Amino acid sequence: MDTVVPVFSLPSLQSGLHQEEFRRCLAEKGVFFLSDSGLTEVDHKSSRDIAIDFFEHGTEEQKQAVTAADPTIRRGFTGLESESTAKVTDNGSYTDYSMCYSMGTSGNLFPTAEFEDIWTGYFDRMYEVSQEVARQVLKTTGSRPDGGVESFVDCEPVLRFRHFPEVPEHRSAEEEPLRMAPHYDLSTVTLIQQTPCANGFVSLQVEIDGVFVDLPARPDLVLVFCGAVATLATGGQVKAPRHHVAAPGRDMMSGSGRTSSVFFLRPDPDFAFSVPLARECGFDISLDGATATFQDWIAGNYVNLRTKTTA
């Protein structure tokens, strides 16, 4: 069993190199590290620092002012344990032990003008790289979505920054093994820039051949997950792997905090797909009919279940 997560250079893929290896990775693992993407640790650090400053020093009134009134919309601030991926995916009732800030192409809620400037620049750079990764996935699998590739990648992405604080004893692995439940992404591709736990614990893990494998933070690389939309847009040629965020044991609670900037390249709401194919690929979908839209799917399956309204 090969559980090694490979590294691919974006310029090499653009040049048509390593196509067979890339195709095999997409089909069997659906996860890889990306080098030479143009995204830097400097980009990640500036957006991370201003978000953490807001999380730690923003008043309750300031946080409430940038909390979306509609819990199904991923915009603005969500407080610690305010979401539950376990509930969304029917994997339990425990909360995500994280707090989050989210933005998209419109309807954003920014705490300050400086925050908006830094985050908009970071969003644009992540968007550009994610579009190019999606182009390479489609090229390698010989797939062409309805309307063409460029129309498909010009879409409705979401950037979510998650801060996972050090866990308290009641959220240690002995009490609750996960900080975030197993799930696959409802995206075409997902780009992740993460920071490591100071104590060396590796929290992010992906399932490969039935085994959850560590995905350590690598500041020189971007982590890429293929999402369920890539599976559907390529007729089942791409795997959308399950992944989760593990909790440290009691002996590693100190220094277990980490952050993760997660960019979801999601299709436009009217992206249509085969419901039978989605079921055949193992996706949890309760929609009727032969076809459905992405909006139908996320409205019925992937809502932002809030457990609190403040941090």
The catalytic residues are: 74
Q: Is residue 227 a contact partner of residue 160, using CB atoms and an 8 Å limit?
A: no
- Structure-token pair, residue 89: 């995916």
- Structure-token pair, residue 124: 């644009």
Beta strand 7-9 pairing with 31-35: parallel
**67: DSSP letter:** B
Query: Distances from the Cα of 24 to the Cαs of 2, 21, 149, 241, 272, in angstroms?
Result: 12, 5, 21, 14, 26
Residues 6+ apart with CB under 8 A from 74: 68, 102, 104, 158, 160, 304
Question: d(Cα 111, Cα 275) in Å, to the nearest integer?
Answer: 40
Q: Is residue 156 a contact partner of residue 73, using CB atoms and an 8 Å limit?
A: no
Give the rounded distance of the alpha carbon of 38 from its chain centre. Answer: 19
Q: Is residue 22 a contact partner of residue 13, using CB atoms and an 8 Å limit?
A: yes
**188: DSSP letter:** S
